[in-house]
Amino acid sequence: MADQVHRPGAEAGARVRAVRRARGLSLAALAEAAGVGKGSLSELETGRRNPTLDTLYALAGPLGVPLAALVEDRDGVAVADPDLETVRLHLLAEADRTVEVWLLRMPPGGRRRSPAHAPGTRERLVVLTGSCRVEPGDDAPLELAAGATAEWAADRPHAYTAGAGGMTGVDVITTPAPATPGG
């Protein structure tokens, strides 16, 4: 295990800290709930550990996220945004594209701007509860009530705004490039 460009352990640590903060949990509280040492959690969150799967799994439970969400290698995903909580439900890596299924949750009035994704990326949103307005690039805004679906090109900046009742939805992101970095 020589020198590495990517440090998956450090990235997972940052994600743990982000989700913990988003949940309003103290480090001690999460350590207690997960049955993990306080010191271990501190060093893990600050990237000074290379955690084992057991440890991450123990943390995923109290944090309320699937284990894979802590391991996520898609960069630029903001899980630490008070206006947008994301949980990846599924990842499907194919030869020519990657499909991700995310659960989105936004507080009432929450607003989130997303930068452009990779060229050819498309998003499909199913609003489960509440309502949401999507602004895909310069196109006309889409007003989505509970139950509605929308689809747009995500390779340009776009924005979501939750309605007065907040929003819960499922977002399906299709990226046309293989997600697998070469060995």
Partner DNA sequence: GACTAGGGTTCTGTATACGGAACCCTAGCG
Partner DNA sequence: CGCTAGGGTTCCGTATACAGAACCCTAGTC
- Interface residues with its own copies (CB under 8 A) are 1-2, 4, 6-9, 12, 33-36, 50-58, 61-69, 71-73, 75, 87-94, 98-99, 101, 103, 122, 124, 126, 128-129, 147, 149, 151, 168, 170, 172, 174, 179-183
Helix 8-23 vs helix 38-45: crossing angle, to nearest 10: 110
Is residue 42 involved in binding DNA (CB under 7 A)? yes
SS (H, E, C) 96-147: CCEEEEEEEEECCCCEEEECCCCCCCEEEEEEEEEEEEEEECCCCCEEECCC
Q: Which residues contact 164 (CB under 8 A, 6 or more apart)?
A: 108, 109, 131
Least Å from the CB of residue 121 to DNA: 33
Query: Near DNA by CB under 7 A, which window of 32-40, 68-76, 79-87, 166-174?
Result: 32-40
**Considering the rule CB under 7 A, would residue 111 count as an interface residue with DNA?**
no
Q: Please tell me whether residue 35 binds DNA under the rule CB under 7 A.
A: yes
Of 11, 22, 38, 111, which one interacts with DNA (CB under 7 A)? 38
Helix (H, G, I), strand (E, B) or coil at 86: strand
